[in-house]
A and B are shown apart, each in its own frame.
Chain A
């Protein structure tokens, strides 16, 4: 944001509180990022105005700013994500297209092009599928059947359950339970579709689906990137200097890892095939070493390093400046 909240709102420093409010509302209306989804500048204008208004709407803060006691920078809004950032992403489920039936001769082209996509996506609208309406035989007695609505469930699974696969149980509104198979390597934010486990159909129509949105909880040790697992591994000073053979955690349990002599912080060791399994291929586990000093520096160690330094001094910060 700029240094000058008055400029962000486009008002004079002498503007009244009412004028400031009005200026903010005008910008908020014109530049709301969610009402201008294709305009990259809208977010910057909106945030600058919101931040400026947050400072100037409070007469006390405004007086302190005017007196130079505080600057505008302390007024940053907390990080905010607008809806448009989700709207076209893979998790988006609210968008809708009401079709192109008014396009005359071209309506078929659009129906052809996009009909397939619409059926594939899990849009939240469209529980009422017009293709589900069927005319009765002879056309006399109109009978319709309609597919039941999809029902959405939220499920939290642990990092390892998602990595290795698991079976979880969810409770339905009826009190019944449903077992959900979590496939090996499931990623955060994926939806599992259980066909026919949603709401009952009408007039003999099929049941809707149960859509289970899965949130994978983060793990204290493992971090996932694609199919690879990242781990930061603390090693002792002695292990770094002398090298060592140690046990480390993987998603499949403990494995042995050889730390080379002279290992250093930031060094990455790759364990092939120890990552997430996807189909026939496996990701890797990447271990980043981090040297941890001993909890206490005893006189012997101190004495050793004093002498060592006299003859072996080196500059670890070469290239930093």
Chain B
């Protein structure tokens, strides 16, 4: 994990992000900073999320609410991908016979 970033540092690092946008995203729970001695502290992952939000706003010309909504969907995709990955890992440990049965079943509904 990298270090923590203050509000000023994060605005300086994310191209196109303003303090006002940051406040909006924090208020919408798009990024949830940690509390460090009473001031917000952001992680590398928060930085990457804010970069994405800023690009959604600029490249797709979305307003902050719409960008936040898209990020919410992205979070759901990652939730699904995690579960799918866990399911895949569990299946990989099953005997070949079980996997073959599931494979043929999935192929049939394809």
Contacts and interface: CB of A to CB of B under 8 A. Distances in A.
Nearest to B83: A114
Interface in A137-181: 151-156, 170-171, 173
A81 interface: yes
Given A32-B59, A152-B35, A86 B79 contact: no
Interface of A: 25, 28-29, 32, 34-35, 37-38, 80-88, 91-98, 113-114, 117, 124-125, 151-156, 170-171, 173, 188-189, 213, 215, 217
Contacts of B38: 171, 173
A86 B44 contact: yes
Contacts, number: 116
Contact of A96 (B59, B60, B76): B76
Given A92-B78, A155-B36, A86 B45 contact: yes
A188 B52 contact: no
Nearest to B45: A86
B contact face: mostly helix, strand, loop, or mixed:
helix
B4 A215 contact: yes
B52 A37 contact: no
A213 B77 contact: no
27 contacts: A25-B59, A29-B59, A29-B60, A34-B52, A37-B81, A38-B81, A80-B51, A83-B48, A83-B51, A86-B44, A87-B45, A91-B1, A91-B45, A92-B82, A93-B45, A97-B76, A97-B82, A98-B76, A98-B79, A151-B35, A152-B33, A153-B34, A154-B35, A170-B35, A171-B38, A188-B1, A217-B3
A83 B49 contact: yes
A35 B29 CA distance: 19
Contact of B75 (A82, A91, A95, A189): A95
Contact of A97 (B43, B59, B83): B83
Given A153-B34, A173-B35, A215 B59 contact: no
B41 to A, nearest CB: 4
Given A25-B59, A28-B59, A97-B79, 13 more contacts: A35-B70, A85-B48, A87-B45, A95-B76, A95-B79, A97-B83, A98-B79, A113-B87, A154-B4, A154-B34, A170-B35, A171-B38, A215-B2
A124 B32 contact: yes
Contact of B44 (A34, A81, A95, A125): A81
Contacts of A125: 75
A189 B85 CA distance: 22
B35 A189 contact: no
B92 interface: no
Contacts of A91: 1, 43, 45
A81 B77 CA distance: 19
A81 B38 CA distance: 28
A56 to B, nearest CB: 16
Contacts of A37: 74, 77-78, 81
Contacts of B48: 34, 81-83, 85-86
Nearest to B31: A94
B38 to A, nearest CB: 6
